[in-house]
Chain A
């Protein structure tokens, strides 16, 4: 009995014990540890959430909760008529954070912009090789090839000169890797002989100041009192790193977290039913698909690909796999994205037609093949195995025998890159709101070697359209090119487009002002607690 009392007393202290009453401390149960606190060096969501959205800003940003590009550290910009020069006018009232070890002596200026981009681009930059020195995101967006030079016009004006017209360039500058770091802090650490601290004891301009990271446990931030958009409503933010989604849900229920990352769709109903929990939903900027390897028989035959499309009852997957929180995908880009083609004719569920097409393709008895099922849970396909089983059952009806195969995630990606698969489940969540970020990254000819075009589909007409769309800045013209490209995609059917899922977040009912990002990233600047 005494032990029971002791344990109860301890848990009461934990549940209620705020160390500093009166302050608004917001606890976010995140899904993983950040790999660094400099988004230039990272490719993963937990790092971006812990660094770029909390600590840093970019020249431009995406409007909170949307994909619209808005000014941030740059108050305005102009593009030259040929699309080869972008000139940015910078804000003059922005300060870098003051931390325990660093006090800035000047405001943010053009030197910081040059410093940040040159670190990733120029091997002679003093920080280029620091802390591993690899800038995968910057390189994979081809920014190293697109940017010819960056010119400091004056203290508050910078000009980016490009090697080729690149319509999505501005959107790229809103991405996490384009965060602006402090040249003054970098020089200070170089003089002190500790440049490696630059990425682990970060100094940015963002709404929160980094205080402490306890490995794999928690990250602490305090509101930046001199943030150029005004001080955040929260005084402190804590990221409590909790890998397991069901444990995160338990912590939300017990009041140990205010908001949880990536809730499991299976918990959604319980969350909605709980009066102390609020659930926000939004159409995700994503697509889940089943790609057919067009370089291998029988999927090199477009009739077979169309037959597969007709054979799958995708409407039934929405309830079974996404618990109703998704829409059947018609195009490879989601409906919330500009240039989505509402005229695209989808393949109806029609096993008879599918059989007919198989017959025409020379497979009247069907065939046997493999489907690789996604080994990780992603918003675009939360349960790869179950989806595989449904597809297996549907294709069996037209004589296609499916063997389900899977590997652990690193193996899955490595083998898919080599094109070892026949059919494979995969998906994508966009990261800059531009259609090029879907159509080129996932279906461009160069993406076959990159490993992201797993259908290994290269269509000259499609490629020409998406290349042309990149070189013009007129959004109407670009929309036209992308709409045509989607028609070709649908006709050639390299993928079965499965679904665009809804992304959702669960939070305590005391949380106000939180907005879901279509990119799945987190921002707490406008959040408040009541």
Chain B
């Protein structure tokens, strides 16, 4: 009898206990991580020369009295230590300060833009998995064939390609030269979409503008998602291939084949299931990469998400946004990694109790 290790062995209660312990342990470990992230973000932007007050004033300048008053209003006249502890104590109460540029709470600004990043990231990951796994499987099955070389060569190029260059090439080819896709943005300005959920694909349906607006939103997603999904796609394809090749060498696969099962049946039903475990790990790791990659992709495609917001705030020396935004991103990455680890525990009983 050939058995997959999924869900066999442990009771549900044991699983819940393991997950609970894992979450607790991770929460404790994440405290110093978050302190470190907040400190680095806080100090780095202050060490960079430049002055948010002068930026607000531009070429106009301001009298020394007005300049001092503006610094005082922004709390930038206080000693660094005091500023940092003020930031931390406020953050602990859920207040990440007020953006210098927009004069709105950082949390609100973050929540306004976060769905755009999540939507783009999800579609990018969806595309990466949807294309990456079949390509990896085919490459493994047709090992050492021209197809295998092509896919693996392509994956290597995709993995090492600079995102900004790739994005600009795609814009030039598909938007400017061929005119197939929109140049930038989330949806055609002709549609007035109420951002109820912040997810444009969902909001287009809720707004009652219908199918055409949904298509417009989807068309705007194609290029950024392809660009953002390129590195994860390459990673997933490579990992699928190598993981599958390893599993295909196992005895139980040979046994299954000896029993007379078809080759593709063995690959899909038996081999792939076990090969998925390292793929899940890679997908989890790639979520972090997608959030980082979003900074470049969003800037290239004028995508109104967290990445573009952070880049703009660095240029504008918007200290509260940078320190608050980076901290929130760190929390998101930690949370996503935790979810991946929990999934891993669920999928692979051998890992239970290990972390």
In the complex, which of the residues B61, B195, B222, B312 contacts A450, with contact meaning CB atoms closer than 8 Å? Answer: B61
Please tell me if B14 contacts chain A, counting CB pairs below 8 Å.
no
In the complex, which of the residues A17, A33, A451 contacts B190, with contact meaning CB atoms closer than 8 Å? Answer: A17
Number of interface residues of B (CB under 8 A): 65
Chain A residues with CB under 8 A of B304: 214-217, 241
In the complex, which of the residues B64, B66, B181, B192 contacts A212, with contact meaning CB atoms closer than 8 Å? Answer: B192
Question: A residues 174-225 with Cβ under 8 Å of B?
Answer: 196, 199-200, 211-212, 214-218, 220
Question: Contact between A8 and B180 (Cβ–Cβ < 8 Å)?
Answer: yes
Question: Contact between A140 and B62 (Cβ–Cβ < 8 Å)?
Answer: yes
Chain B residues with CB under 8 A of A216: 113, 302, 304, 308-309, 312
Please tell me if B101 contacts chain A, counting CB pairs below 8 Å.
yes
Chain B residues with CB under 8 A of A453: 61
Question: Contact between A409 and B55 (Cβ–Cβ < 8 Å)?
Answer: yes
Question: Contact between A217 and B182 (Cβ–Cβ < 8 Å)?
Answer: no
Interface residue SS majority, chain A: mixed
Please tell me if B98 contacts chain A, counting CB pairs below 8 Å.
yes
CA distance A379 to B174 in the complex (A): 31
Question: Contact between A132 and B103 (Cβ–Cβ < 8 Å)?
Answer: yes
CA distance A14 to B185 in the complex (A): 12
Please tell me if A502 contacts chain B, counting CB pairs below 8 Å.
no
- Contact stretch, chosen from B29-37, B212-220, B232-240, B265-273: B212-220
Chain B residues with CB under 8 A of A134: 70, 73
CB-nearest residue of chain A relative to B179?
Answer: A11
Please tell me if A426 contacts chain B, counting CB pairs below 8 Å.
yes
CB-nearest residue of chain B relative to A142?
Answer: B63
In the complex, which of the residues A214, A407, A452 contacts B60, with contact meaning CB atoms closer than 8 Å? Answer: A452
In the complex, which of the residues A139, A238, A413 contacts B54, with contact meaning CB atoms closer than 8 Å? Answer: A413
CA distance A220 to B190 in the complex (A): 10
Please tell me if A242 contacts chain B, counting CB pairs below 8 Å.
yes
Question: Contact between A215 and B55 (Cβ–Cβ < 8 Å)?
Answer: no
CA distance A27 to B58 in the complex (A): 28
- B196: min CB distance to chain A, Å: 12
CA distance A200 to B192 in the complex (A): 18
- A211: min CB distance to chain B, Å: 7
- B317: min CB distance to chain A, Å: 5
- A338: min CB distance to chain B, Å: 22
Known A-B contacts A247-B183, A450-B62; the reply to A214 vs B195 at CB < 8 A is yes
Question: Contact between A451 and B54 (Cβ–Cβ < 8 Å)?
Answer: yes
Please tell me if B56 contacts chain A, counting CB pairs below 8 Å.
yes
Known A-B contacts A14-B219, A132-B73, A134-B70; the reply to A140 vs B57 at CB < 8 A is yes
Chain A residues with CB under 8 A of B315: 408-410
CA distance A212 to B194 in the complex (A): 8
A-B contacts, 5 of them at CB < 8 A, read A136-B62, A199-B103, A216-B312, A409-B55, A452-B60
